Amino acid sequence: MNMGSRAAKIDEERLDTIAFQRKVIMGFFVVLVALIIGLIIAFSVRRIWVSPDLSSGQMITVNSPYRAYPYTFTYRFISVLWNWSEDGAKEYPILIKSASESYAEEGMVNELRKELADLKSRGVLNGRTRQVKEIIPRDPSAMVKSLSSDKFVVFVDLEIVDKLNGSVVSVRRERFSYTVAVTGESPDVNQYGLKLVSYYRAPEKLHFN
């Protein structure tokens, strides 16, 4: 092989090496861009769950809320839904619609609508007012049972006082239980990051000594 042929071969190998290196760099660049875009999307909707009491020392699962948080969310939802100041027949349907638009899944909404239909059919909703009071637990986090890192059973003890034309017609003290789940919806849609999924089991009467 003469000098000219050898130089041409070396030059060809050099060009092949440069072309291969360019492909590797371009491939790495594409992967890097895709990774950065993925991280931007992930962190744009990522929620950071902060304990309301850092002294408690509770261990939490990554991306899972402090246990007292689902309890507070559930009580807030129910207190909005079940407090009727003037007339349950007018207020309850509106509250179901407004409270359930972002904070309850379809199964839970259907249960609430069934309850509404039952109350209407029995004729006990017109002119009925309701006041819901929390029976405050010693430790709200103890009222929450984890099913997984993003699903919980929440127990809420309530005193429910119903009045008709200003007179008390019913006083109940019961423990309600709900399945609550973390939602990936945007904070613009759901600021709490949680949704009521369903009733967990039937209410239980509370007995006090």
For the stretch 108-133, pLDDT in tens is 999 999 999 999 999 889 999 999 99
Backbone torsions φ then ψ of 151, nearest 5 degrees:
-145, 140
Radius of gyration of the chain, Cα coordinates, nearest whole angstrom? 29
- Separation between Cα atoms, residue 66 and residue 60, nearest integer Å: 6
Residue 17 tokens, joined: 């090496």
Q: What is the pLDDT of residue 190?
A: 83
Which class for 194: exposed (0-12), middle (13-18), buried (19 or more C-beta within 10 A)?
buried
Residues in contact with 176: Cβ distance below 8 Å, sequence separation at least 6, in sequence order = 78, 155, 156, 157, 158, 199, 203
Query: How do residues 70-105 score in pLDDT, each as one tens digit?
Result: 999 999 999 999 999 999 999 999 999 887 778 999
Query: How do residues 12-54 score in pLDDT, each as one tens digit?
Result: 666 666 666 676 567 655 555 555 555 444 444 445 454 444 4
Backbone torsions φ then ψ of 126, nearest 5 degrees:
-65, 125
Parse the chain into domains and list their residue ranges. 1-44, 68-205
Which class for 10: exposed (0-12), middle (13-18), buried (19 or more C-beta within 10 A)?
exposed
Select from 63, 203, 66, 65 the least CA-distant residue to 139.
Answer: 66
Mean pLDDT (whole number) for 181-196: 86
Indicate if the pLDDT at residue 59 is higher than 60: no
Residue 164 tokens, joined: 């008709």
What's the CATH class of domain 68-205? alpha beta
Question: Lowest mean pLDDT: which of 60-69, 119-128, 140-149, 167-176?
Answer: 60-69
- Which residue's entry shows tokens 């689902």? 70
Please report, as a single letter, which amino acid is at residue 185.
Answer: E
User: What pTM value is reported for the model?
Assistant: 0.69
Helices first, then strands: H and E counts in the chain: 4, 5
Contact between residue 179 and residue 169 where contact means Cβ atoms under 8 Å apart: no
